[in-house]
Amino acid sequence: MRKVNISKNNFMFASLLFLDDNLKKIDKLPENTFDEIINKYVEMNICHPFREGNGRSTRIWLDLILKKRLKLVVNWEFIDKYSYLSAMIRSTVNPAELKELLKKHLTDKINDRKTFIKSIVKSYEYEGYYIKI
């Protein structure tokens, strides 16, 4: 867990002063529908609990919730980096664009190793890291 306040591109993530309380509130948010799950994901992104690796870890976290609750995961391989990052930035005001983008790329291949690995590789690409498989 981070021990300092952090920001990115003039956006201040949740204050360290309230981080623990915010994480407890997020943990209690409902996660029964796609909309509820994405709202929870957006709140976790605003919290940004780590100094590094928030995007990668929260995308995996999102897929685990979707898998558990809806028997679906996001097929990240087919989501353009700039479309995703733009939708994430705007999601703090209105998550509709993010919901539409992710909903288009849901798959029921929840136990498919190839889908999982390609999604992890794509997740790293969003952060500027490139992995060859």
What the chain holds in terms of domains, given with CATH numbers, is 13-126 (1.10.3290.10)
CA distance 15 to 26: 15
| Residue pLDDT, tens place only, 6-22 | 999 889 999 999 999 99
Instruction: Provide the token pair at 78.
Output: 């087919």
3-state SS, residue 95 = coil
Rounded alpha-carbon distances, angstroms, from residue 87 to 56, 83, 125: 16, 6, 16
| Residue pLDDT, tens place only, 56-113 | 999 999 999 999 999 999 999 999 999 999 999 999 999 999 999 999 999 999 999 9
Token pair 């849901």: residue:
106
Q: Is this model's pTM higher than 0.75 or not?
A: yes
